[in-house]
A = this chain, B = another copy of it.
Amino acid sequence: MLPPSLKKLIDELSRLPGIGPKTAQRLAVHLLRSPHARIKPLGEALLSLQDGLAFCEECWHVTEESPCSICSDDSRDKTQICVVEEVLDVIAIEKTDKFKGLYHVLHGVLSPIDGVGAEQLKMKELFDRLEQHPEINELVLATNPSLEGEATALYIQKQLADSRVSVSRIARGLPIGADLEYADSVTLGKAMLHRTDY
């Protein structure tokens, strides 16, 4: 009942993560009614997205040239590597202005149920990097404090048990502005366990 070109756009949109068929329909009809000058930039941005974009071969962050601007920045502390799951996690940590070392993007987490093992991640690249760069002496594990994120952190920590590199994990505790009364008991338990000197 819908014209083929509209149908095709709905199909393509509903393949995106978190966009179901109803949302895809709504977006497609919105786009259909938008002036062409507003759709064109989106279409072009999509088609040219991967032109000239690559992943940094040091840290696997997205970049226009490898090594990326972070890896090639001489003012950064090359002895610390922060391990994150995704490209956007680098941006989130950079925004805090509290870390001056380098990054390593795993591009995922260990998740046997989804068929994701160490081979699907940039895990081997991490260990190779540690071997090739003896100046690295701290690895900050900043994977998400989720089941998979914790498992991935634990895996890396175990692999490096006998290594010269000291391994740390980002703090887990109460988020700023939280209410003790409403905090879940796992978070509150971690906050007690990892309390710091005042």
Q: Which A residues form the contact surface with B (CB < 8 A)? A: 1-6, 8-9, 12-13, 15-19, 23, 25-33, 36, 38-53, 62-64, 86-88, 90-91, 94, 107
Contacts and interface: CB of A to CB of B under 8 A. Distances in A.
A33 to B, nearest CB: 7
Q: Which of A49, A86, A94 has the most CB of B within 10 A?
A: A49
Given A1-B90, A3-B62, A25-B88, 5 more contacts: A12-B45, A15-B38, A29-B86, A29-B87, A43-B47
Contact of A94 (B1, B3, B15, B52): B1
A17 B46 contact: no
A28 B31 CA distance: 18
Given A64-B3, A91-B2, A46 B49 contact: no
Contact of A42 (B6, B12, B33, B107): B12
12 contacts: A1-B94, A3-B63, A5-B48, A15-B38, A16-B27, A19-B27, A28-B49, A32-B49, A32-B53, A39-B47, A43-B43, A47-B47
